[in-house]
Amino acid sequence: MAHDITSASNSHLGENLYERDYYTWALEQARALLEQRVEALDWENLADEVGNLARSEARGLKSQLARLLTHLLKWQLLAARRLKLGDPANSWRISIVDARHEVRDLLEELPGLKSRLPELFLKAYTAAVYRTCRETKSDRSRFPASCPWTFEQVMDDDFWPDSEDQPRRKPINRGKKTRKRD
């Protein structure tokens, strides 16, 4: 019974400190964990905070995917402008390359997020469409309801979507003889 009172008392004190001074609470909880002082741990708030850490990492991955998809959508949508400026205008290219790198890093550091990729990719595409509409003043109807590319395509360093307004390039005839027509 005395243990229950102590635990309740510590929990109550920890909760007050958690609400009053998060920084000090976090430092005290870290110290208690390192020193393995179980009685000093604020279990409920610690559990919430650890859960928040995981959700934060998932939001970070979704954010990088949305950034990547936004720039790929703009790459495709504004191809005429991009080509007029000359591809060396490179800011979208740089952002696309950087976002791919960030996504790879996150998935390497946090392999548990791989199981959430389908869900996060879908949410990221929705966010990317809204962001692209806002930034380009385009109508939502210009974009497919679901992502036109797979995750693998989006992450492929050689993938650069063509504009929907441009005719598709014909395949290059490599080494095959062609007959001239009269």
- Taking each helix axis from N to C end, the angle separating 117-136 and 43-77, rounded to the nearest 10 degrees, works out to 50
Which burial class, exposed, middle or buried, applies to 30 when counting CB atoms under 10 A from its CB (0-12, 13-18, 19+)? exposed
HSE-CB at 117 with a 13 A cutoff on CA atoms is 14
pLDDT at 84: 67
pLDDT at 148: 96
pLDDT at 87: 55
pTM for the predicted model, two decimal places: 0.72
| Separation between Cα atoms, residue 153 and residue 71, nearest integer Å | 14
| Separation between Cα atoms, residue 165 and residue 168, nearest integer Å | 9
Report the sign of the C-alpha dihedral through residues 21, 50, 32, 109, in that order: negative
Q: What is the pLDDT along the chain (182 residues), one digit of tens a residue?
A: 334 333 444 445 545 898 999 999 999 999 999 999 999 999 999 999 999 999 999 999 999 999 999 999 998 888 767 766 665 457 878 999 999 999 999 999 999 999 999 999 999 999 999 999 999 999 999 999 999 999 999 999 999 997 544 333 333 333 444 444 44
SS3 call for 88? helix
Number of H helices, E strands in the chain: 7, 0
Structure token pair of residue 51: 């859960």
Angle at 2 between CA 29 and CA 38, to 5 degrees: 25
What residue spans define the domains of the chain? 1-41, 56-155
